[in-house]
Amino acid sequence: MPTPADTLPFLLGSMVPVAVPGSSVLFIVGRAPAHGRRAALASVAGNSAGE
């Protein structure tokens, strides 16, 4: 059984990959200001269909 001293670093280390956005999110966030809402929503639909 892990001790509390081992659990805290594990929890902190496992939160970092969850908090970092993936490439799809960065793509959509980049498209929205450059091309507008319609292009961003089309990118969301395309990413959803392709995954």
Is 1 inside any structural domain?
Answer: no
Is 7 inside any structural domain?
Answer: no
Instruction: Report the number of distinct structural domains present in the chain.
Output: 1
- φ and ψ of 33, to 5 deg: -70, -30
The pTM (predicted TM-score) of the whole model is 0.57
Which pLDDT band, with edges at 50, 70 and 90, does 51 fall under? low
Domain that includes residue 30, residue range:
23-51
For residue range 3-46, what is the model confidence (pLDDT) as tens digits? 989 999 999 899 888 888 888 889 999 999 999 999 999 999 99
Is 4 inside any structural domain?
Answer: no
Report the C-alpha gap between 11 and 15 in whole angstroms: 6
Is 14 inside any structural domain?
Answer: no
Is 45 inside any structural domain?
Answer: yes
Is 5 inside any structural domain?
Answer: no
Is 18 inside any structural domain?
Answer: no
Report the C-alpha gap between 24 and 13 in whole angstroms: 22
